[in-house]
Amino acid sequence: MVKVLFVCLGNICRSPLAEGVFKHIVTQRGLQEKIIVKSAGTSGWHLGEPPDPRSVTVARNHGIVLDSLGRKAISEDFETYDYIIAMDKSNFNHLQNLRATGGTAKAKLLLMRDFDEVGKGLDVPDPYYGGDDGFDKVYQMLDRSCRKLLDEIVKQHDLK
Ligand code: 4NP
């Protein structure tokens, strides 16, 4: 099994949507028995909470059901997961520090939009304080990025 963890700040807007989008694409490609997908936050502000209703709505508009509950990323995640995907550079830096406190860290830490051909290396902006159009934009970024990320994982692990 290849294990992938998406991480943002609150684990209620971006990373649950990334989890849902990635799972959806994984299933479309028939790889759901080979790839495990989860999400977490760098903060513990929304522990146990379902995703923000605006993320739920944009996902539903694309036929995707979100079912994650808020969890905080821990250093052991670097032992559990093969890929940890940060939504923005602040999340990335936080995770890098978290990894430093861990033991055997196998996970590759990557930035989500390093896989986005439209805006490589940019942040997935935090849509929490903005309007609904911010969530649509985030969805588009995640959809583009997740497709490329899956291509890369399929190649790396020779999945069929
Ligand atoms: P997320 O968005 O990191 O994409 O889940 C946020 C959610 C909540 C807060 C900030 C960002 N907050 O300040 O509670």
> Closest Cα partner for 153 from 84, 63, 75, 103?
84
Q: Which residues contact 98 (CB under 8 A, 6 or more apart)?
A: 42, 73, 74, 75, 77, 78
Query: Could you tell me if the CB of 18 is within 6 A of ligand 1?
Result: no
Does 128 contact ligand 1 (Cβ within 6 A)? yes
Question: How much is the pLDDT for 105?
Answer: 81
pLDDT at 160: 81
| Ligand 1 contact, 12 CB (< 6 A) | yes
Count of other CB atoms within 10 angstroms of residue 101: 10
Question: Catalytic residue at 14?
Answer: yes
- pTM score > 0.95 for this model? yes
Asked whether the beta carbons of 41 and 17 are under 8 A apart, the reply is no
Q: Exposure of 30 by Cβ count < 10 A (0-12 exposed, 13-18 middle, 19+ buried)?
A: exposed
Question: What is residue 102's predicted lDDT score, i.e. its pLDDT?
Answer: 60
For a ligand 1 pocket test, name from 8, 9, 68, 85 the mutation site with the most ligand atoms within 8 angstroms of its C-beta. Answer: 9
Contact 145, 115 (CB under 8 A): yes
Write down the pLDDT at residue 103.
62
Residue-wise pLDDT for 96-107, tens only, equals 999 877 666 889
Q: What is the pLDDT of residue 101?
A: 72
Q: Is 51 exposed, middle or buried (0-12, 13-18, 19+ CB in 10 A)?
A: buried
The C-alpha atoms of residue 130 and residue 50 are separated, in whole angstroms, by 19
10 lines ligand 1 (CB under 6 A): yes
Question: Ligand 1: which of 126, 129, 139, 141 to mutate, most ligand atoms within 8 Å of CB?
Answer: 126
User: How far is 99 from 79, CA to CA, in rounded Å?
Assistant: 9
* CATH number attached to the domain at 2-157: 3.40.50.2300
Question: Block means of pLDDT (10 residues each) for the chain, length 160 residues?
Answer: 98 98 98 98 98 98 98 95 98 94 82 96 96 95 98 96
Helix (H) or strand (E) holding 36: strand 35-41
Four-point Cα dihedral 19, 154, 111, 68, nearest 10: 10
Can 13 be counted among the known catalytic residues? no
- Atom 9 of ligand 1 has which residue's CA nearest to it? 10
CB-CB neighbours of 117 under 10 Å: 10
- Which amino acid residue places its CA nearest to atom 13 of ligand 1? 10
